[in-house]
Amino acid sequence: MSSNQDLQKRRDAALARGQTNLLPVFVEKAENAELWDVAGRRYIDFAGGIAVLNTGHVHPRVRAAVERQLGKFSHTCFMVTPYESGVALAEKLNAIVPISGPTRSMFVTTGAEAVENAVKIARSFTGRSGVIAFSGGFHGRTMMCMGLTGKVMPYKSSFGPMPGEIYHAPYPMAYQGVTEKQALGGIASLFKVDIDPQRVAAMIVEPVLGEGGYYVAPPAFLRGLRDICDKHGIVLIADEIQSGFARTGRMFAIEHAGVEPDLITMAKSLAGGFPLAAVTGRQEIMDAPEPGGLGGTYAASPLATEAALAVLDVIEEEGLTGRADAIGEILRDGLEALSGELECVGDIRGLGAMLACELVTDKSTREPDPELTAAVMREAAQRGLVLVTCGMYGNVIRIMVPLTASDAIVREGLDILVECLRDLSARRAVA
């Protein structure tokens, strides 16, 4: 069998530089919150395939559902000859989203496609073209999503021109000194300087910023967006692709604020590792596009829709919203204790088990420390913990451990992270 090093060499020679991998860890098998590489080394998985595995790697219920489906058929195209699981999943999503009144759903394959389609639907409904997104937001790598994303490197650099009629307002980031009042003021300023609100079709917001650094939008900010959208007839889209499916202690993060969006984009943990994404929203908006205007060849793959139905059962039956709170508490307690001890731990923030730790060179200046952050990620992998980073400056460690992980596994991973931070910051102090 090839080693991690051999596979990394082959990978570098075969794949485009732009599609990189964060760690030279080639996976052989995975189960719940653990994985094993080709050398047989065990890792605790705090990345969860970037928030895809809220129900863990290969949950037995998901596996059984997919295997059952594979015994029947793997593809027909839901837009040609559909099947019950696609209908049942739409019914289920319509029932669980925090939107009152009649709702409808549509399926695609990736998060970026869900965002693309939410914008198409909003444009079709309003007959307008402008879209407002936020600094630090991440919405995917397709053309429209790249335009909506509020971070240049590496997502936008060299890929221009950007699609038209996209405007960015500040996202509230208390640690960076951006208050919710300033963020809302940014939208007022857009309406003065850049676009008439009557030309804006949609506003898209992550209730908790994912790639942008795990900033939690204050409820008053989300209520403010709702008011602006109501006043001007703008469609409010909540991008719950990373924050959804119990991660924050509620099924959807926006529920914490008591705000109803018009449309919700979903992907990642929806189908436990199978490629599936959805848009669910108010019926009159969702039904604006003409028949055939939405969809795709692999949209609502039967393997993925069966997996998603099993995922939703697991979230409910295993009480994963409660587990998100409990896991979040363990992680927060451990990291907050460390924050008093280490100069490099600048901020700990998040909601439920969507938790992050921002690393700085100095607590008073809050100067980002992306080098230390990358070193912690590499060192943690050496010690058997898979971590990934995020943030505008690449100096935030984010945790997306499966919500099915036991307390013991969460504590074991946390201990590795804490020891890495202690050792690397001590080495830095000596150097």
Ligand X SMILES: Cc1ncc(COP(=O)(O)O)c(C=O)c1O
- Half-sphere exposure in the Cβ direction for 120 (13 Å, CA): 17
Q: Does 49 bind ligand X (CB under 6 A)?
A: no
Q: Should residue 139 be labelled a site residue for ligand X when binding is judged by CB under 6 A?
A: yes
Ordered DSSP codes for 275-342 = --EEEEEEHHHHT-SPTTSS--TTTT-HHHHHHHHHHHHHHHHTTHHHHHHHHHHHHHHHHHHHHHH-
Q: How far is the CB of 427 from ligand X (least distance, A)?
A: 32
Is 332 a binding residue for ligand X by CB under 6 A? The answer is no
Q: Is 252 in the site for ligand X (CB under 6 A)?
A: no
- Interface size with ligand X, residues (CB under 6 A): 15
- Looking at the Cβ atoms of 277 and 420, the one nearer to ligand X is 277
110 binds ligand X (CB under 6 A): yes
Is 249 an interacting residue with respect to ligand X (CB under 6 A)?
Answer: no
In the sheet that holds 388-390, the strands lie side by side as 345-351, 354-359, 396-399, 388-390
Does position 210 bind ligand X by CB under 6 A? yes
Helix or strand run (H / E) with residue 422: helix 407-430
Q: Which residue in 259, 267, 359, 421 binds ligand X (CB under 6 A)?
A: 267
* Under rule CB under 6 A, residue 241 binds ligand X: yes
CB of 268 to ligand X, least distance (A): 7
Q: Is 116 in the site for ligand X (CB under 6 A)?
A: no
180 binds ligand X (CB under 6 A): no
Residue with smaller CB distance to ligand X, 244 or 328: 244
Given the structure tokens 């996202």, which residue do they identify? 171
- Counting every residue written for the chain, the total comes to 431
Helices (H), 78-142: 84-96, 111-126
State which amino acid sits at residue 247: R
Exactly one of 34, 45, 116, 239 binds ligand X (CB under 6 A); which one?
239
Residue 87 corresponds to which tokens in the numbers above? 């209908």
Asked if 213 is part of the footprint of ligand X (rule: CB under 6 A), the reply reads: no
The binding site for ligand X (CB under 6 A) comprises 50, 110-112, 115, 138-140, 206, 210-211, 239, 241-242, 267
